[in-house]
Amino acid sequence: MKRCSIIIHSVSGNCYIIGSYLQELLIERNVDARLYRVEDPDLHIWANTQETTNDFYEDILALPIASGETLLKSDMVILGSPTRFGNTSAEMKTFLDTTLPLSKEQSLESKFFACFTSCSHSTCEGAHTLSALIYWAQSMGMLHIPYGVHEENDSYDQPVAGIVHLAGREDSIRPSDRLGKEMETYADILSAYIQEDEQ
C-alpha cells in the first residue's frame, strides 16, 4: 500500500481538522495516510490566549513531528499551513528550509504533492500560500496534483491549485462547516493518482 504523509502546521486547529479529515478520507480509499506536524515551540502560548487553539491543543501535540525521513518514506506528501500575510507560517517555512539537502540530491523527485491552507478571509491570499508550497514542491522535482475545477460543488471559489479554507477574522469558522464535498472530491483525485501509480 502506498504511503501518503499529511504534514501540517496548525495554530487555530483548522489545518488540523482539514488534515485529519483528509487522512480519514484517504484511508477509506485504501491509502496508507499518516498525519504529522511541524515543530511549533510557541503553540502553548497561543493555547493560553486563543480559544480556537485550545480546542485542539492536545490533539495537535499528540501528532508525531515530521522530518526529512518522513518525506523520503512517502509516495505522496500533502502540506497544510495557515496563511500569514499571503505566505506560509514561519514554522512551516522553517520545516521546508530543513529540506535543502534533499533538494540538492533530488531525493523527492517524482513523488506526488498536494496542499491546503486556512486563512482569515481572502481566497486570493490563501492562493498565494498554495503557490509558495507548490514552488517548494517543484524545486524538489515533485509532481503537483491540483484540486482542479469542479462546478458541481457548492463552493465555486476554490483555487485550482489546492484547498483554501476561509476561517473568518477570529479563525472560528471550522472547515467541517464548509468543505465536506470539496475534501471528498480532492481525496478521490489524490487516491486515484497514488493507486494508479501502484499498479
Q: How far apart are CA 31 and CA 90, in angstroms?
A: 30
Torsion of CA 184, 167, 13, 86, to 10 degrees: 100
8 neighbors 80 (Cβ within 8 angstroms): yes
Q: All 3 cell numbers of residue 10?
A: 496548525
- Read off the pLDDT of residues 95-150 as tens digits, 9 standing for 90 and up: 999 999 999 999 999 999 999 999 988 899 999 999 999 999 999 999 999 999 88
Pick from 63, 68, 147, 149: which is nearest to 111 by CA?
Answer: 68
Q: Which domain holds residue 45?
A: 3-198
The whole model's pTM is what? 0.93
What total number of domains does the chain contain? 1
- Read off the pLDDT of residues 41-94 as tens digits, 9 standing for 90 and up: 888 776 667 766 678 889 999 999 999 999 999 999 999 999 999 999 999 999
- The three-class DSSP label of residue 93 is helix
At 120, which CATH number? 3.40.50.360
- Alpha helices in 33-99, H assignment, sequence order: 43-49, 51-61, 68-72, 90-97
